[in-house]
Structure 1
């Protein structure tokens, strides 16, 4: 007996209704991307390993799916490699390619590779799947779509301002009101690390701090201790764990902590500019909130960083994030090209809209009318009518087989098709169509123009 088929953990099949809902989200995001002047590009699903490795920190590198070389890939492994059992020695020799972890690093590679063909500042958007060897849980999958928008070639903070407006525009269009756009600046985190004497442990410090809302204050402190951050330094961080109040209040506290750090004060200055611009422009439904514990785990961020939380009461992690990166393209040979970008978490946004019942009913509309098949001659007449209906953008189809009437009606019911059309001998002779409303059972005999008018 054949084994029942399955799919890998962290991946999913999508039925017609789910695909329609996902398309609704992507189309809404795409519409706003283009309204803001972003151009679409696409990159391959897999990259050379050297393009991806080392760009996401140790934790990120461990989550990259490696692709085995084709053919006899073990031939490059020496006896010494076998004996050492070293993953660092093995992996580069048996895997030269990997599935992309995100869309930002491939985008940086694209910019450098095509730098003579594009105009700077370059605004692009990309909606494609990415893969991470993460532990699957609610809202976290191993294969998922990212919807990214980035600008490279400009250091202007007005780009950050526009991205906040873009977040607000998308979530307003999706009727997802009261989303919270959290903002921080990696320069502030660098300044804090400097003040507590942990400059050499900036990555460890930011990775631990970024987990505050997930594991709590004490666990974060434990992780910092395990990474060699001193008790005195952790004690200096205490005001951060309980920092509250509006933007101005938090900034005031930060200034007192960072008064000896030039880079930290620069980060505060950038945040004040962004907050001032947003206060002047206003937002439709979203709220901008300063969160100094926000770190974002990716190493390439250098300035403002963003993370979007779902409305209060929805148990979901972030539904978007991003930030400024000043030197990402330098790793591919193009230094001094600043960029900033944001990403929308399609799968999590889907779950939030589902939980809040925010999907429009019309997006799941499929076939509107099914023509019952009574035989070859009748089916031909039905197909002529189906063709005319489709020309009027009415979703119509003919049941393919001359099956029993009950089977065809059951098919229409199970697919929630609201109307069926019956064309038998009498209708053929009179060139008419009997339209049946499935919900009420009501029937009416119509000519083709009348049938089109009713179904339209």
Structure 2
């Protein structure tokens, strides 16, 4: 017999029944909002062909994809020269044909292409499933975590972007969060900035660097830009843009001056302004909600974003982003379906869980499991309780009968451990009178009620 101590893979977690109730509270809250805005649920496999995923997330993202080794004696089919070379990049394609999905957006694009003759456009879907990334685990960052995505393809209307802002606002508010910021930017604005600096070919290098402003500060960004091929003169042009301040209106006005010579940059500004206009109309107010902010440093280094970019952060807890997304006009083109625009967002459910836990925002109802436990002192009480148990369940009340006769203390401990709020005590007196004793486990108070009265009480 093996004496190996059981352990979890680094960056993964078990979830207890109580944790699952809380997690499902988050999922159900977000799903309800998705459905309200016309999104329907799909699911895709946990693994995809490696070729489906690679090249979609940039070099940094590709490094974080979990590859799955081919089954069988996979090394026997590898060219011996590759084995001797010890080059993992060259060897990977020979020993791994599949990988765990990195996100839900690329599998969704693959789904759209494969099912294009079955779906109606615009196609609005949401998806709540786990994804995997070979990242360094830390607070709020796991190697296996759930994403809650909503995407729409086949519509270039910026109304979709505006509605995603409202979805974020409504879902996070419904979860109890009060102080959060929804940041917006546009990839075309970033392209315009790279263009006026004179380094359009370094757009990805620029965005990867400035996206780290919050983490490494201005000096860190400048150092990284220099390392990536930008000159001091380039950085002098970039600084005023990176450090842009003021209201959304002020920022857009200043950007129009800076990007006056860039047609793509001006298109990006127009798209942001149109999104803000939709929000004003939807909100019925001349001013935008205070938690919507234009942030030019927001780049989200994923290569497939081509238009609007989203990121959501809570200001109540020290935590990374709890949501993000953007428009990806060219994504399905990578799978052979050209000219199909798309835009989507994602909620970081695991980070949202940590935030709600730290702020103690889970309602008591989110921890609800069994509502009433029926005691079991002997065979006569068990026989009496079984029909009663079914009556509770028919009334949609979560109920349990303690499975075997036991002392009261043991049964009460069981109810406490499972956080069952009520216990029904059935003794000889209760069986004779049909008046049962209902105990409130929170305050210890007891009352005598008939079975129908208990059902009405618990339902109320």
TM-score by length of 2: 0.95
Is contact 1:179-1:285 (8 Å) kept?
A: no
- Please name the residue that 2:441 is paired with: 438
Query: C-alpha separation between the residues in 1 aligned to 2:433 and 2:281?
Result: 69
The whole-number CA distance in structure 2 between the counterparts of 1:285 and 1:17 is 35
Q: Which residue of structure 2 lines up, in the alignment, with residue 183 of structure 1?
A: 184
Residue equivalent to 2:366: 363
Q: Using the TM superposition, give the Cα deviation of residue 23 of structure 1 relative to its aligned residue in structure 2, in angstroms.
A: 1.0
Change (3 A) 1:36 1:286: farther
Question: Which range moved further: 413-422 or 330-339?
Answer: 413-422
Whether the aligned pair in 1 keeps the contact of 2:180 and 2:316 (CA below 8 Å) is: no
1:444 offset after TM fit, Å? 4.0
User: Structure 2: which 5+ runs fail to align?
Assistant: none
Q: Which residue of 1 aligns with 2:226?
A: 225
> Following the alignment from structure 1 to structure 2, what is the Cα–Cα distance between the partners of residues 274 and 443?
58
In 2, Cα distance between the equivalents of 1:406 and 1:357?
30
1:301 and 2:302 matched? no
Q: TM-score, normalised by structure 1?
A: 0.96
Count of residue pairs the alignment pairs up: 455
Q: 1:357/1:400 Cα in 2 relative to 1: closer, same or farther (>3 Å)?
A: same
Q: Does structure 1 conserve the Cα–Cα contact (< 8 Å) formed by 2:69 and 2:96? A: yes
Instruction: Quote the RMSD (CA, aligned, Å).
Output: 1.7
Structure 1 residues 359-391: Cα deviation after superposition (integer angstroms, max 9, x where no partner) = 222221222221221223321211211111111
Q: What is the match of residue 455 of structure 1?
A: 458
Q: 2:336 aligns with which of 333, 336, 347?
A: 333
Question: What is the DSSP-based 3-state SS (H/G/I as helix, E as strand, rest coil) of the residue aligned with 2:347?
Answer: strand
d(CA) in 2 for partners of 1:204 and 1:220?
A: 11
Q: Report if the CA contact (8 A) 1:65-1:132 is conserved.
A: yes
Corresponding residue of 1:243: 244
Correspondent of 2:383 among 366, 376, 380: 380
**Equivalent residue, structure 2, for 1:324:** 327
Give the distance between the partners of 2:92 and 2:264, measured in 1 at CA. Answer: 38
Q: Superposed, which structure 2 residues align to 1:22-41 within 5 Å?
A: 22-41=23-42
- Indicate if the aligned counterparts of 1:124 and 1:149 stay in contact, CA closer than 8 A: yes
Which one of 369, 387, 390 corresponds to residue 393 of structure 2?
Answer: 390
- Residues 1:249 and 1:431: Cα distance change in structure 2 (over 3 Å): closer
Q: How does 1:51-450 map to 2 (within 5 A)?
A: 51-282=52-283, 287-310=291-314, 312-450=315-453
User: Per-residue CA shift, 1:397-444, capped at 9, x if unaligned?
Assistant: 111122233222222223232322222334334444333333444444
CA shift, 1:65, in A, is: 0.4
Q: Identify unmatched segments of 5+ residues in structure 1.
A: none
Residues 172 and 285, structure 1, Cα contact 8 Å, conserved in 2: no
